[in-house]
Amino acid sequence: MRTLFKTLTLAAAIGITATANALTVGFAQVGSESGWRTSFSESVKAEAEKRGITLKFSDAQQKQENQIKAVRSFIAQRVDAILIAPVVETGWQPVLMEAKRARIPVVILDRNVSVTDQSLYITRIAPDFELEGQRAANWLTEKTAGKCAILELQGTVGSSAAIGRMKGFNDTIAKFPETKIVRSQTAEFTRSKGKEVMETMLKAEGGGKNICAIWAHNDEMALGAIQAVREAGLQPGKDILIVSVDAVDDALKSIIAGDINVSVELSPHLGGPAFDVINEFRAGKKDFEKWIRMGGAVYTQENAAAELVKRGAK
Ligand code: GZL
């Protein structure tokens, strides 16, 4: 009996110690505007669960003021670390200084922050947005032999994803004088706005018969634009080429169906690297790279089906 009691006490003690050491991390997420964002959130939550990390999750519905409120709440709750996926680049310095004063480490995920003091965050784990724009433009200029009139659906204005993709794409097509973006407007990274803005653009372009391609900063907007192209009596992927980014499962299916021509992938699995950084920081590491790059492949009709199988997608 005494042995059993001793064992139970020991187990309880280990249990308490483990709980006492369990991390609590606050995550200020942009929202749920796209399939990619949802995969990103689910991946971080699953990774926290797997590691026994208590995750406090906030969905800001794409509003920076909600994100800043969430970060302040995490500070008040004295979490062990804070993850921020910033909706736009500017406006972060004050709240990041509050986190620093509270001695709570911050990791930036995905989009970037524009701050004068780089010590305000440990590191940023993110894709290379300019490269994504370059890869999209490379495919299109090759496919069209450098002659194409393009309609552009921009992501959220002021977000580093939209800024970077636009720069990478524009720098690449600048080498081709007969490749031009004839209209460009934000559709906020959402499917509904993508359809709405594309309807307006196609009408303004006399129905779109002179349009060679649509360049969408993410798959959601591309999938919305496809509906508008169909309703204009044109065949997406053939009459008008569709070039996009994210390579979410729905986009791979659309590529297989011939509606989207290419999607540049960015991994949504940022949780593991983020929690590794937090653990390393707590173990005393100081010399982090300020940008840990996440990559991805380029999907076309040649490789989309195999990737879907590999993902075990339904
Ligand atoms: C890019 C990310 C973008 C995705 C969109 O890393 O910020 O935001 O491309 C999402 O799907 O809305």
Residue with tokens 């018969």: 209
C-alpha dihedral (63, 68, 69, 75), degrees to nearest 10: 150
| Kind plus residue range of the DSSP H or E element containing 181 | strand 179-186
* Ligand 1 contacts CB of residue 127 (under 6 A): yes
Angle at 112 between CA 110 and CA 115, to 5 degrees: 150
Residue with tokens 């989309």: 304
Give the tens place of pLDDT for each residue, 161-215.
Answer: 999 999 999 999 999 999 999 999 999 999 999 999 999 999 999 999 999 999 9
Parallel/antiparallel/unpaired status of strands 213-216 and 148-154: parallel
Give the tens place of pLDDT for each residue, 233-246.
Answer: 999 999 999 999 99
Is the pLDDT reported for residue 8 higher than 80?
A: no
Residue 17's pLDDT is 45
By alpha-carbon position, which residue is closest to atom 6 of ligand 1? Answer: 110
CA 66 to chain centre: 18
Residue 18's pLDDT is 42
Stretch 125-144: mean pLDDT: 98
* Ligand 1 contacts CB of residue 111 (under 6 A): yes
- Give the contacts of 247 (CB within 8 A, at least 6 positions apart): 219, 263, 264, 265, 266, 296, 297, 299, 307
CB distance 107 to 277 below 8 Å: yes
Give the span between the Cα atoms of 232 and 168, in whole angstroms: 30
Backbone angles phi, psi at 69, to 5 degrees: -60, -40
Compute, in angstroms, the gap from residue 47 CA to the centroid of ligand 1: 20
Is the pLDDT reported for residue 14 higher than 80?
A: no
Is the pLDDT reported for residue 11 higher than 90?
A: no
Of 125, 77, 119, 123, nearest to 102 (Cα)?
A: 77
Stretch 102-127: mean pLDDT: 97
- Which pair of tokens denotes residue 116? 């004068």
* Ligand 1 contacts CB of residue 40 (under 6 A): no
Q: Which domains does the chain have, with CATH numbers?
A: 2-127+268-294 (3.40.50.2300), 129-246 (3.40.50.2300)
Compute, in angstroms, the gap from residue 183 CA to the centroid of ligand 1: 21
Give the tens place of pLDDT for each residue, 228-286.
Answer: 999 999 999 999 999 999 999 999 999 999 999 999 999 999 999 999 999 999 999 99
- Give the contacts of 61 (CB within 8 A, at least 6 positions apart): 31
